[in-house]
């Protein structure tokens, strides 16, 4: 089979690998669609394991079922979680699935930017989900990133009527805007450095869009009854965005850091102000199985319209172009790779 082998953001090659086989308790899935995640182009994070096949936002069709698998059959349409928790460790039992050691080490093989993937038994057991008929393969690729978004907003205790500031209007920020709308947030403000993404933020439900060079706190006070934001969601690791978040959260408000900086980057914090204003700081990544199931339903019902976020659909042969588009972060939002389309 063909795979897109990642060497760095500017070097993604189409190579041949042996098609994996489904062993006992496993599945073989024909990948119909695979989304390029912003984390896929975090070169400082990925390159240390290169060369490898990336891709963890997938949807496809089961083509082989291993011995002992009872819940699934050939021909079913599925989305599969790349990482799954053990559900039994100290962290899982306390609701901290994202830091479960099993979640950090599980994966399907070889990666979503390939024609076929093998699903290990543990991923079959707790990370494989049937797609409803109303959900297309390309929409199914959003189950994983939307689950991450849902977990973040739950941890941040988003409540109806709250004012929300989303800093960074790439794919993560736009999913946060759509989900916040679906969950009944009040006024939603979006910040970015590009006009294209600010227009997308408006399309996704933001009430006010603000260029990152503007005085964001002043804009908030002007449009939010003299107050700052109840919840600030940071979807970029830029140091200026982090400082902007601290300056834009209201008394009693929460900052949700959804995107990381590079390792060993120090961020100054005025603890006196945070203490005096009773602010909360929340970190969040990944999404446990329950949130994946809830995300599929949000997509099926149309409460979150993920199809609107797809700007490019490319065959496997053009995966390098897809990485270039996502890394440049200009006129693209979600790039979908379709390994079995003509020309791919």
User: 197-216 pLDDT, tens per residue?
Assistant: 999 999 999 999 999 999 99
Q: Is the dihedral of CA 235, 240, 246, 248 positive or negative?
A: negative
Share the mean pLDDT of the chain: 95
Instruction: Please list, residue by residue across 150-173, b when 16 or more beta carbons sit within 10 angstroms of its beta carbon and e when fewer do.
Output: bbbbebbebeeebbbbbbbbbbbb
User: What 3-state DSSP class applies to 337?
Assistant: strand
Q: Residue 286: left (phi > 0), alpha (psi -120 to 50), or beta?
A: left
170-184 residue pLDDT tens: 999 999 999 999 999
* Residue 110 vs residue 289, higher pLDDT: 110
Distance between first and last Cα of the chain = 12
C-alpha to C-alpha distance for 190 and 254, rounded to whole angstroms: 16
Average pLDDT on 191-201 reads 96
Contacts of 290 (CB under 8 A, 6+ apart): none
C-alpha to C-alpha distance for 152 and 287, rounded to whole angstroms: 8
Residue 8: pLDDT band (50, 70, 90) is very high
Residues of the chain with pLDDT > 70: what percent?
99
Average pLDDT on 85-99 reads 95
Residue 343: pLDDT band (50, 70, 90) is low
pLDDT at residue number 344 = 47
Average pLDDT on 250-256 reads 98
Q: Which two tokens stand for residue 280?
A: 């909360």
Q: Which domains does the chain have, with CATH numbers?
A: 2-147+287-338 (3.90.180.10), 157-283 (3.40.50.720)
Residues of the chain with pLDDT > 90: what percent?
92
Taking 80 as the threshold, does the pLDDT of residue 120 lie above it? Answer: yes
Residue 261's nearest CA partner among 37, 44, 18, 5 is 44
Using a 10 angstrom Cβ sphere, with 0-12 exposed, 13-18 middle and 19 or more buried, the burial of residue 236 is: buried
Q: Which two tokens stand for residue 111?
A: 């990666």
Given a contact cutoff of 8 angstroms between Cβ atoms, the answer to whether 173 and 189 are in contact is no
Residue 265: pLDDT band (50, 70, 90) is confident
Residue 330: pLDDT band (50, 70, 90) is confident
Residue 294's nearest CA partner among 282, 303, 285, 281 is 303
C-alpha to C-alpha distance for 279 and 286, rounded to whole angstroms: 24
Given a contact cutoff of 8 angstroms between Cβ atoms, the answer to whether 109 and 120 are in contact is yes
Helix (H) or strand (E) holding 295: helix 289-301
Q: Give the phi and the psi of residue 36 in degrees, each rounded to 5.
A: -85, 120
Contacts of 223 (CB under 8 A, 6+ apart): 187, 189, 207, 208
Given a contact cutoff of 8 angstroms between Cβ atoms, the answer to whether 152 and 233 are in contact is yes
Whole-prediction pTM: 0.96
Rg (CA), the chain: 20
User: What 3-state DSSP class applies to 175?
Assistant: helix
pLDDT at residue number 87 = 94
Taking 50 as the threshold, does the pLDDT of residue 145 lie above it? Answer: yes
Average pLDDT on 220-241 reads 96
Taking 90 as the threshold, does the pLDDT of residue 139 lie above it? Answer: yes
C-alpha to C-alpha distance for 298 and 131, rounded to whole angstroms: 12
Residue 76: pLDDT band (50, 70, 90) is very high
Given a contact cutoff of 8 angstroms between Cβ atoms, the answer to whether 53 and 5 are in contact is yes
Taking 60 as the threshold, does the pLDDT of residue 310 lie above it? Answer: yes
């Amino acid at each position: 089979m063909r795979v897109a082998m990642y060497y760095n953001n500017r070097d993604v090659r189409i190579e041949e690998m042996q098609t994996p086989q489904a062993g006992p308790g496993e599945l073989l899935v024909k990948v119909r669609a695979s989304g390029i995640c912003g984390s896929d182009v975090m070169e400082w994070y990925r390159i240390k394991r290169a060369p490898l096949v990336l891709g963890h936002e997938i949807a496809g069709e089961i083509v082989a079922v291993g011995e002992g698998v009872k819940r699934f059959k050939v021909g079913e349409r599925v989305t599969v979680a790349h990482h799954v928790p053990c559900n039994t460790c100290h962290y899982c039992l306390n609701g901290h699935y994202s830091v479960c050691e099993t979640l950090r080490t599980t994966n399907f093989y070889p990666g979503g930017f390939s024609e076929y993937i093998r699903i290990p038994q543990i991923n079959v057991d707790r990370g494989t989900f049937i797609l409803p008929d109303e959900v297309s393969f390309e929409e199914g690729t959003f189950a994983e990133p939307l689950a991450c978004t849902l977990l973040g907003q739950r941890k941040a205790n988003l409540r109806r009527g709250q004012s929300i500031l989303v800093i960074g209007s790439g794919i993560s920020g736009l999913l946060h805007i759509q989900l916040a709308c679906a969950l009944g947030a009040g006024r939603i403000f979006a910040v970015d450095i590009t006009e294209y993404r600010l227009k997308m933020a408006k399309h996704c439900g933001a009430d006010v869009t603000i260029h990152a060079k503007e005085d964001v706190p002043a804009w908030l006070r002007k449009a939010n009854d003299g107050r700052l934001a109840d919840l600030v969601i940071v979807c970029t690791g830029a140091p200026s965005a982090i400082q902007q978040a601290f300056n834009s959260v209201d008394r009693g408000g929460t900052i949700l850091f959804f995107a990381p900086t590079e390792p060993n980057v120090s961020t100054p914090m005025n603890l006196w102000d945070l203490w005096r204003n009773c602010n909360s700081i929340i970190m969040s990544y990944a999404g446990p199985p329950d949130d994946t199931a809830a995300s599929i339903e949000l997509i099926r019902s149309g409460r979150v319209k993920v199809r609107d976020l797809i700007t490019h659909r490319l065959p496997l042969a053009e995966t390098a172009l897809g990485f270039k588009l996502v890394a440049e972060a200009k006129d693209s939002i979600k790039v979908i790779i379709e390994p079995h389309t003509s020309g791919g």
